[in-house]
């Protein structure tokens, strides 16, 4: 997969599974796909996402399917700092580099 685009997907409680299956089905070998899942209960407020998110991300694109807004916001900040575009569908956050289309 030398020329494949690296996509890193973050999901919570399997919230991105249908989209992940679509990428695999229709993307073939065009994408090097890695999924990070959080499938356990989270606190209502997350002050510091260090226990849930990597400090550095290596990808061409990040897809955010988190339900928890604190994680989405912190993920967008990490992506901004790493200069990686992030698509966080349905989120209302305002972080430079984050694309937040309606669902």
Give CA–CA dist 12/88, Å, rounded: 13
CATH 3.40.50.2300 is the classification of domain 5-99:
yes
Domain ranges of the chain: 5-99
Q: How many CB atoms lie within 10 A of CB 63?
A: 21
Q: Is 3 a residue whose pLDDT tops 90?
A: no
Tell me if residue 86 falls in helix, strand or coil.
Answer: strand
pLDDT-derived band at 2, boundaries 50, 70, 90: low
Residue 95 phi, psi (nearest 5): -130, 130
38 vs 90 pLDDT, higher one: 38
pLDDT, one tens digit per residue, over 65-84 is 998 989 999 999 999 999 99
Whether the pTM exceeds 0.85: the reply is yes
pLDDT, one tens digit per residue, over 5-29 is 999 999 998 989 999 999 999 998 8
Dihedral sign computed on CA atoms, order 11, 54, 100, 59: negative
């Amino acid at each position: 997969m030398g020329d494949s685009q690296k996509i890193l997907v973050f999901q919570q409680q399997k919230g991105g599974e249908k989209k992940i299956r679509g990428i695999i089905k229709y993307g073939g070998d065009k994408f090097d796909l890695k999924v990070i899942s959080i499938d356990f209960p989270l606190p209502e407020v997350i002050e510091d996402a260090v226990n849930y998110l990597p400090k550095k991300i290596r990808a061409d694109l990040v897809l955010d399917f988190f339900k928890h807004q604190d994680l989405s916001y912190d993920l967008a900040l990490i992506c901004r700092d790493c200069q990686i575009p992030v698509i966080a569908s349905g989120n209302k956050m305002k972080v430079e580099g984050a694309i937040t289309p309606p669902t």
